[in-house]
Amino acid sequence: MTEYATVGKGVPRVDGPAKVTGDAIYTADIYLKGMLQGKILRSPYPHARILHIDTARALKVTGVRAVVTGKDTSKVKFAQSMKTKVPDKAFLALDKVRYIGDEIAAVAADDIDTAEEALELIRVEYEVLPAVFDPFEAMEPGAPLIHEHLKSNISWAPLYQWGEPVDELSDKCDVILEDSFKTHSQVHAYMEPNCSVATWDQNGNVTVWASTQGPYTHKQELVTALGIPGDKIRVITPAVGGGFGGKRHVVEPSVAAALLSKKSGRPVKIEYTREEEFTATRHRHPMNIQLRIGAQKDGKFIFFDAENVVDNGAYNDSGPSVTLYAGHALTTNYMVKGVRYNAKLAYTNTSYGGSYRGYGNLQMRFCLESMVDMLAEKISIDAGELRLINAVKENDTLVCKSKVTSCGLSECIREVVRASNWKEKKQHSGKLRGVGIACHEYICAPRWHYPHDSSSASVRIDDDGAVRLFTGAIDIGQGSDTTLCQIVAEVLGIEMSQVKIFRADSEVAPMDLGTYGSRVTFIAGNAAKIAATEARNQLAEVAAEALGTIPENIEFRNNRVQLAGNPERGFAFVEAVKLALNKKGLIVMGRGSYDPPSDVVDFMKGEGKFNAAYSFGSQVVEVEVDADTGSVRLLKVTSAADCGFAINPLSLDGQCHGSISHAQGMTLLERPFVEEGNILNPSFLDYSIPTAMEAPEIDSILVETIDPDGPFGAKGVSEGYQVPTAPAIANAIYHATGIRIKEIPVNSEEILRGLEKLAHSKK
Amino acid sequence: MKQKVKLIVNEQEYELFIEPHKTLLDVLRDDLGLTGTKKGCDSGQCGACTVLVDGEPILSCITLACEVDGRKIQTIEGVAKDGELHPLQKAFLQYGAVQCGFCTPGMILSGLALLENNPSPTIEEIKKGISGNLCRCTGYLKIIEAIQRAGK
Amino acid sequence: MSLPKFEYLAPSDIKEACSYLKEFNGQIAILAGGTDLVMHLKYRVESPTHLLSLKNLTELNSLHYEQDSGLFLGAMYSLRNITLNSHIKSEMAALAQAAEEVASPQIRNRGTIGGNICLDSRCWYFNRSRQLRKTLPPCYKTGGDQCYVVKGGKQCYALLQADTVPSLLVLKAQLRLASAEGGRMIPIEQFYSGQGEKPNRLVSGEILTEVKIPRLPPRSGTAYLKYRKRRALDFPLLGISFFVRLDGEGRNCREARFAFIGHGSGPLLVDASEALEGLDEPILTEEQTTHLLEELKPVTHMGISASLKRRLARPMLRRAFYDAWRNAQEQIAEYS
């Protein structure tokens, strides 16, 4: 194993000191002179045509400075850039509203009281339309049509067939199992609500501060919304208080703030309330999955055949790619001869789905990993063993025509089996305690939306010795700032404290597509590494000349630029920098651009290697079921993840814990209750994310497989941590009680009824 | 009618003339420029707005500023002293307890109050002490570790 | 979210407070810890023109114990202080346990016993912002004529979910209410209306000033159990307090009563003395359990079904009885 100075170490977060003192600036902490408060008017109806909007009374209120509606936008609808989708969302409603919460207009006023008062005075004339809330009902002929540009409410209906035709494989199977599973929605519930601040100069340039996961795509969306060229728009992302996918495409507050600011001539801040977060942002797509698994009695999987009905909600957002990925997930962690995936993505008049860590893969794996356990029982093979028999390995070619590069899946499974005492606990777990296992693959850096998947970086070394890294990558709490600084410090052989990072300002930082798909470490990391290496090479040349040798003999270590093998001959780092300036007139600057080895995703066939790498992992969980109340308590999770190389193990463990917490919530506690499109529990009190009291014990094991393409062998891993927990819990509940859970979140009453039934059948 | 209110925030006295319907959170952030205390839900449910009043953690988003007239208030800006981080802040950094950082100010203040009353808390006691502070990034374990290690 | 504007009054004695209540009758709200009221104001379910702050009524933030009469708690005594008080912890376990289970440390620091007793009933259709409430016609609790919890229901089904109430009921607490006209003292069981619109019988112009808990008879014990999804923050989806008194030898049950909260618009207090008289161990049969729970009629509400609450009530009743019995035995051991 290579010994590194900085990467591979659990160094503290570079943005940590500002965060523990309250110095870190989040978008809501920005106060500009003369700034107004803005608020968005939202539809109270799940489905209605807008006949007329009268803003006159609102404008008359003292302190109201501007009111905007759809007419003030470019009137262009937008969508994620994807071939199969037609833009379907207006930034502010143009013709119809399609869910309770849909944006209609916005007001800016001197203070929030006045803005709220004015909002009530905007008169909207609606023609209320019949609405549909269930995806199956939405697909019935005669259901109310939600988007008139389509003939039905089916946004997309892919049918993918990979490998050998599934219908011809039945004969090869000794056992075929079939079952249905359902997942409900989940809300990101990041702690920082969405916030945007916008201000214009007198030459038509707008600056927007926004809590977003992707300032570059945010800017593209503003170009579409405002109808002005991109070089007139500057998007800056301050510290972000969590995203988990939810802050990828919430552009409405920025659009509203920018329009209000333009009209009023003053800066405008729009801060979402927590209720708006629960009702009018994005959430996880609910799925209804039917899965058939065919296998041989020796444990070899032969085919997977799935049908999926996905509840899109009112608009597309990430619906198509989430739907695709749910199917793709069937091809990527087990070797199988054929896969068929038949999905329907249906619009409904409800809050709509977006990106959420797990992205369809998670919902499908709840289903797949539960059925793998059911199969294990049926053919009497240990659940861990069955997974090992079928796990993909390094250099495997998948039926979807993708290739696995680095792969530690088998090792992850073996590690959790060992570290959790799986075999022993499977035998004796005690009354109503159980263990369950599941594993996963997760994509690293998928090329979903654009022809490129790039990131760029530049490194500038000033004669004060500080190394300044400019990157478009966004740290939303996952620690990318720190990881990138570690990479630069490692390449240049310097201390972390010498590296400063500048990011997320579209005027200053180079382009990056954003934080999603576990891509930042891999892509931005490589870009930063290339940039640092170019800077390093410039210094190496200068030093080599001064020392009368060739650059290949120069090493960067312990803050020095010196002759390898003869360290007294050399320079302190800052001396070498000054030498470059004084001897050569050179300010050392390195640039790097990285576009990973992946193809653009083929939405028609769902085939190809449209990602840079795959991460893998496995978890064993231990649960305790209370026979009196039906409550399920998550006691312990043993997790192993193939991260390629752990640039910051401390950070990875933190990601592991956090993702598992989300998964725990999704499986056992969290559910938005929706009635006729109305979310009834839009608060932290009534929507139960785990508190510290719920935290289980977690043992996080990192497996390193050294990816051939990742920086120092690292690849993205954190999203994957959220994936195997739900099926592992379901499998553990089965072990503890004999009750098979097919719908999450788990319902206590279902457990109690199941226990009663089992008690009866025993008598 | 505006009320005359004296707030002693981080050992500095402020004499303010404020509308009684203003919450302590809004006064701290909007009027005093102390934006370290965060507005996570504005509903008294997430704990991000936690400040200490006479050493006790309370939720500033559901406390009227008038109600703490004359009381000593400590926000996150008042934890480090003379440029030196408090051991609890150092522990948060060292043990990976900070990710997005939005819950961090509230967590640190709850942790501070806990350690003041109970310098060597058990893990269960720490969990209880921060049970009113929600975190969506860390899964709590490293926060619990940091508080434990900062104790005696 | 902003609050509505109001005039802020912070009197220093109760008489002054009562005169304000009379003067601004119908338009004045009482601010104790504010953990319930402030959210009502933000949600605009109340928009009083005047707010009466109790912060300067230091006499209400008090606790004293009289050997013969019992414990006197000022209405502003905080929930946290209740959990720390050694007398309450040892003599009235159910009250300390209930206070301990409320919400979070921050809420317990500001929340008061008076505020918990006077807690308004709750419902998903009610406890939400004005913007969201406007998506539906008003319900009974907001002055309308329908209920969304029980479709076609003829009454409001908002739930009373105050943790300390069942404990105070089984402890036979009495409430002192003051007003400009004088005052009254009522047993807490008479304080609750069972009606979702207005769950307690605090009359306009009245203020709760004190809670009296009589000295417990010897060889008695109490316990409080709370069912909720998480182990913090949540109100009781179902809560139960149990009181039991044993005979001279500490072997047989002589007196028993329990109270539920969280299932309906009011608490349910049940005198179980006759049913459990003479019992020599804290074990209930299935038949006894069914019989004792006859009057518990929960509705499906806020994500929990009525059938689940009925199921949960059974083990909760058994466990609470057991815990109260053990508590009684501990009391006996302590004093012998």
- Confidence at residue A84, expressed as pLDDT on a 0 to 100 scale: 53
- Please identify every stretch of chain B with a pLDDT value under 70, giving residue numbers as ranges: none
- Confidence at residue C336, expressed as pLDDT on a 0 to 100 scale: 64
**Are A689 and B136 a contacting pair at CB < 8 A?**
yes
3-state SS class at C151:
coil
- Confidence at residue C223, expressed as pLDDT on a 0 to 100 scale: 98
Mean pLDDT of A373-402: 97
pLDDT at position A88 over 70? yes
- Confidence at residue A740, expressed as pLDDT on a 0 to 100 scale: 97
- Residues C131 and B72 sit within 8 Å (Cβ to Cβ): no
- Residues A670 and A676 sit within 8 Å (Cβ to Cβ): no
Could you give the CA distance from residue C21 to residue A365 in angstroms, rounded to a whole number?
61
Does C110 lie at the interface with B, CB-CB under 8 angstroms?
yes
Give me the residue from A20, A240, A273 closest to B85, CB to CB: A20
DSSP string, A330-390: GGSSB--SEEEEEEEEEE-SSPPB---TTTTHHHHHHHHHHHHHHHHHHTT--HHHHHHHH
Could you give the CA distance from residue A668 to residue C226 in angstroms, rounded to a whole number?
18
Surface of A (130-169) touching B: CB under 8 A: none
Does B30 lie at the interface with C, CB-CB under 8 angstroms?
no
Supply C273's token pair: 């003395």
Phi-psi region of A410 (alpha: psi -120 to 50; beta: other; left: phi over 0): alpha
**Are A686 and C302 a contacting pair at CB < 8 A?**
yes
Give pLDDT tens digits for A696-732.
999 999 999 999 999 999 998 888 999 999 999 999 9
Q: Which residues contact A243 (CB under 8 A, 6 or more apart)?
A: A188, A190, A211, A212, A213, A476, A477, A515
pLDDT at position C120 over 70? yes
- Confidence at residue A1, expressed as pLDDT on a 0 to 100 scale: 62
Residues of C in contact with B1 (CB under 8 A): 7-8
DSSP code for A521:
I
Does C186 lie at the interface with A, CB-CB under 8 angstroms?
no
* Residue B23 Cα, gap to closest chain C Cα (Å): 9
Mean pLDDT of A227-237: 96
Q: Which residue of B has its CA nearest to A17?
A: B93
- Confidence at residue A335, expressed as pLDDT on a 0 to 100 scale: 97
3-state SS class at B15:
strand
Give pLDDT tens digits for A311-363.
999 999 889 999 999 999 999 999 999 999 999 999 999 999 999 999 999 99
Surface of B (46-105) touching C: CB under 8 A: 47, 50, 56-59, 62-64, 66-67, 69
Q: What SS3 string covers C45-56?
A: CCCCCEEEECCC
- Confidence at residue A620, expressed as pLDDT on a 0 to 100 scale: 98
**What architecture is the A31-129+191-242+247-280 domain classified under in CATH?**
Alpha-Beta Complex (3.90)
Residues of C in contact with B58 (CB under 8 A): 106, 109-110
**Are A673 and C303 a contacting pair at CB < 8 A?**
yes
Mean pLDDT of A23-42: 98
Could you give the CA distance from residue A378 to residue A366 in angstroms, rounded to a whole number?
19
**What architecture is the A287-448+600-762 domain classified under in CATH?**
2-Layer Sandwich (3.30)
**Are B132 and C2 a contacting pair at CB < 8 A?**
no
Q: Which percentage of chain B shows pLDDT scores above 90?
A: 98
Name the residue with tokens 């069914």. Answer: C290
pLDDT at position C208 over 70? yes
- Confidence at residue A442, expressed as pLDDT on a 0 to 100 scale: 93
Q: Read off the pLDDT band of A518 (50, 70, 90).
A: confident
Residues of B in contact with A474 (CB under 8 A): none
Give pLDDT tens digits for B94-105.
999 999 999 999
Residue of A81, A661, A720, A723 whose CA lies nearest to A444: A720
**Are C107 and B66 a contacting pair at CB < 8 A?**
no
Give the pairing type, strands A611-625 and A499-503: unpaired
Mean pLDDT of A203-227: 94
Q: Which percentage of chain C shows pLDDT scores above 70?
A: 99
3-state SS class at A726:
helix
Mean pLDDT of A10-24: 97
Give pLDDT tens digits for C162-190.
999 999 999 999 999 999 999 999 999 99
Does A128 lie at the interface with C, CB-CB under 8 angstroms?
no
Residues of B in contact with A271 (CB under 8 A): 39
DSSP code for A644:
S
The residue type found at A346 is A
Phi, psi of A296 (to 5 degrees): -95, 165
The residue type found at A688 is S
* Domains within chain C, CATH numbers bracketed: 1-54 (3.30.43.10), 63-117+159-335 (3.30.465.10)
Could you give the CA distance from residue A470 to residue A479 in angstroms, rounded to a whole number?
16
Q: Read off the pLDDT band of A599 (50, 70, 90).
A: confident
Q: What share of chain A is helix, strand, coil (3-state, %, to 5)?
A: 30, 25, 40
- Confidence at residue C332, expressed as pLDDT on a 0 to 100 scale: 83
Domain layout of chain A by residue ranges: 16-23+454-594, 31-129+191-242+247-280, 287-448+600-762
Phi, psi of A576 (to 5 degrees): -65, -40
**Are A693 and B127 a contacting pair at CB < 8 A?**
yes
Residues of A in contact with B85 (CB under 8 A): 17, 20-21
Q: Cis omega (within 30 of 0) on the bond before C282?
A: no
Q: Read off the pLDDT band of A428 (50, 70, 90).
A: confident
- Confidence at residue A601, expressed as pLDDT on a 0 to 100 scale: 80
Q: Read off the pLDDT band of A57 (50, 70, 90).
A: very high
Residues of A in contact with C129 (CB under 8 A): 273, 275
Does A752 lie at the interface with C, CB-CB under 8 angstroms?
yes
Q: Which percentage of chain A shows pLDDT scores above 90?
A: 88
- Residues C120 and C36 sit within 8 Å (Cβ to Cβ): yes
pLDDT at position A603 over 90? no
Residues of A in contact with C132 (CB under 8 A): 275, 279, 678, 682
- What's the pTM value of the predicted model, to 2 decimals? 0.97
Chains that touch B (3 or more CB pairs under 8 A): A, C
DSSP code for A231:
G
pLDDT at position A70 over 80? yes
Q: Which residues contact A187 (CB under 8 A, 6 or more apart)?
A: A277, A278, A283, A284, A670, A672, A687
Residue A138: in which H helix or E strand, if any? helix A135-139
- Beta-bridge mates of residue C9: C52
- Confidence at residue A447, expressed as pLDDT on a 0 to 100 scale: 86
Q: Which residue of C has its CA nearest to A747?
A: C304
CATH 1.10.630.10 fits A16-23+454-594, yes or no: no
Give pLDDT tens digits for A99-143.
999 999 999 999 999 999 999 999 999 999 999 999 999 999 999
Could you give the CA distance from residue A60 to residue A57 in angstroms, rounded to a whole number?
5
Mutation site, C102, C104, C119, interface B, largest B CB count within 10 A: C104
Domains A16-23+454-594 and A287-448+600-762 share a fold: yes
Q: Read off the pLDDT band of A82 (50, 70, 90).
A: low
Name the residue with tokens 């016609």. Answer: C137
